[in-house]
Amino acid sequence: MTAPNVLIIGGTGVFGKRLVRHLSSQRGLVLNVSSRSAVKATAFIKTLTSPQATLHPIALDSQVNLQEQLDQIRPSIVVDCSGPFQGAGYETAQAVLKAGAHFIDLADARDYLAGFGAALDVTARQNGVCALSGASSTPTLSTSVARHLTLGWQRVDTIDMAITPGGKSEVGRSVIEAILSYAGKDVPLWSNGRLTQTTGWRNAKRINLPGLGRRRVAAVETFDAEYVGPLLDVQSRVSFSAGLESGVEQRGIEAIAMLCKHKLIGSPIALIPVLLKARQITRIPTSSSGGMLVDICGLNADGVMTQATWSLVARQDHGPYIPILPAAAAIRKLLSCTVGAGAGFAHSALSLEDILQEMQAYDIKTATSVVQTDQSIFEKALGARAIKALPECLQQFHAPSGPVLWSGEADVERGAGILPQVIARLFGFPQTGQAVPVTVSIDRKQSSHGMPIEVWTRTFANKSMTSVLSHSGNGMIVERFAPFSFALRLAQDADGLRMPLAKWWLGKLPLPRVLAPRSDTREYVDEMGRFHFDVKLSVPIFGQLIHYRGWLAPDRKG
């Protein structure tokens, strides 16, 4: 029997080296390690300790006479680790498929992934081979985790993913180039159940990654946002963030993104040599530990509100091997002859377990936690009997399994004067307008302290404001617009709910009641049976801050 013959394009690059090291322990495998320089490939192979596979150094430039070179090497599988894939075409993949070999790449670039199947499926089927793209942390590992966690679920509401590598990990020019390629530019975001956009390396936040603590991450370009949303029929949001462990590096890339966004600098690619040199210093205080987090909320198979969280922590600088493990799993799958011909994403041929098996040789640990909620914070505050006495649409709005998206219209009137305008800008209040389109999304989840919370994002036209609500006992809800928090006492009446202000704080500091804003907030049913809201806020002396009122109905995605 002929030994499996695998060609690694870019075999001496950052990812190629790791894949070769990983595969070199497999007895009976023939690995062709390619580089533009055979001398460089030979030198790298000599660094491997007791390899079980047969390794051949190959001088190969995928841009020059690739078809002829493939005819000489005659590989059964080709893995493209070269990158970056931003702006890349499919010439390499086409040549591999026409040579009768399976093709795998580690691409994570949105445009490349979006066109992969359409560009290559016919060629792959004509030659009886398989082309698998995205065999890396994203979209293959991320999608595999999401599918595994939500297996059998009735509804998926939100998916938040984040990757934060250890700061001491080796980073090549191609990685920096990929990072900078979308800094300050529009990147896909699945929001309010639809594809929209955000800004690359902006909208930073801190996440709590079990085993690593809090790390800062920001929005990045991945295909997950526009792919996983429709794939799992995600009702509200799919977000993907990444973060650099070094605070200097993270805030530096955020600053570059801000400058690019406002066109204060041109292409940041010219900064790559400087950034690579700077890493020799900025990486000093960092660690060799990184991780990944996938947090999903929705209704499980029994219709119970559920938050499922999958986390991964890699130590001893083993995190950089994670991006190549889906490719290794795909090679193993192709060698088992269980994958049909055609072109698609690698996750379609793999399970999460296939990828986890490749992790066994490393100091990589994964964990899954599942929390179920049978009461919303409003049910806790009011009690089951009071909730059942509310009109049906209000019950639906506040139920733990209720729709997460509501849309409708609102009339908005901002207060006059300088102070009301300043406060309105601070809190993100909408502009004055009539019949303004409004969408409200409700994320029901657990806080970092394990307490049930609801994150409400109200979008008036294109202006959004977000607050975090929690139950504080004594029939009250606390709504936080950082850095302020407001305790609202729920009062049920014949029409619905009123929410007068009871207390307020700046951070943890209680503020005088006499200076508190006045809140006249009502939820009730209008004459058409729709959920109706009426919110009027004012401050002593200066008068009205804002008054918005309107109606909502479950969104078509709800």
pLDDT digits (tens, 9 = 90+) for 464-508: 899 999 998 888 999 999 899 999 999 988 789 999 999 999 999
Residues 6 or more apart whose CB falls under 8 angstroms from that of 436 comprise 409, 410, 411, 412, 430, 460, 461, 550
What is the token pair recorded at 117? Answer: 């199947």
Whole-angstrom distance, CA of residue 107 vs CA of residue 489: 52
Question: Which pLDDT band holds residue 558 (cuts at 50, 70, 90)?
Answer: very low
What does the pLDDT read at residue 427? Answer: 83
Burial 529-538 (b: 16+ CB within 10 A, else e): eebbbbbbbb
What does the pLDDT read at residue 85? Answer: 87
Residues 6 or more apart whose CB falls under 8 angstroms from that of 114 comprise 223, 226
What is the token pair recorded at 66? Answer: 């690739």
Whole-angstrom distance, CA of residue 536 vs CA of residue 188: 35
What does the pLDDT read at residue 556? Answer: 65
Q: What is the mean pLDDT of residues 413-424?
A: 84
Q: pLDDT above 70 covers what percent of the chain?
A: 99
The Cβ of residue 67 has, within 10 Å, a number of other Cβ atoms equal to 12
Q: What is the mean pLDDT of residues 356-385?
A: 93
Whole-angstrom distance, CA of residue 96 vs CA of residue 407: 49
How does pLDDT run across 225-236, given as a tens digit for each residue?
A: 889 999 999 999
pLDDT at 76 over 70: yes
What does the pLDDT read at residue 119? Answer: 97
Write the CA distances from 431 to 107, 411, 420, 545, 547, integer angstroms: 42, 10, 12, 11, 11
How does pLDDT run across 162-204, given as a tens digit for each residue?
A: 999 999 987 778 788 888 989 999 998 999 888 999 999 998 9
What does the pLDDT read at residue 493? Answer: 82
How does pLDDT run across 208-250, given as a tens digit for each residue?
A: 998 899 999 999 988 998 899 999 999 999 999 999 999 999 9
Whole-angstrom distance, CA of residue 427 vs CA of residue 420: 11
Question: Which pLDDT band holds residue 107 (cuts at 50, 70, 90)?
Answer: very high
Strand 130-133 and strand 342-345: the pairing is: parallel
DSSP-derived 3-state class of residue 266: coil
What does the pLDDT read at residue 267? Answer: 87
Q: What is the mean pLDDT of residues 515-525?
A: 92
What does the pLDDT read at residue 6? Answer: 97
Which helix (H) or strand (E) segment holds residue 524: the answer is: strand 518-525
Identify the structural domains of the chain with CATH numbers, from first to last.
Answer: 5-136+319-363 (3.40.50.720), 138-317+365-371 (3.30.360.10), 377-554 (2.40.128)
Q: What is the mean pLDDT of residues 364-386?
A: 91
How does pLDDT run across 11-36, given as a tens digit for each residue?
A: 999 899 999 999 999 999 999 999 99
Catalogue the E-assigned strands of 447-517.
452-460, 463-473, 476-481, 484-489, 491-492, 496-498, 501-506, 509-510
pLDDT at 1 over 50: no
**Is the pTM here over 0.75, yes or no?**
yes
How does pLDDT run across 267-284, given as a tens digit for each residue?
A: 898 899 999 999 989 999
How does pLDDT run across 44-55, given as a tens digit for each residue?
A: 999 999 999 999
Catalogue the E-assigned strands of 339-432.
342-345, 364-373, 405-414
What does the pLDDT read at residue 557? Answer: 55
H, E, C per residue of 100-117: CCEEEECCCCHHHHHHHH
The residue to which tokens 């502009």 are assigned: 431
pLDDT at 258 over 70: yes
Q: pLDDT above 90 covers what percent of the chain?
A: 74
Q: What is the mean pLDDT of residues 452-462?
A: 92
pLDDT at 147 over 80: yes
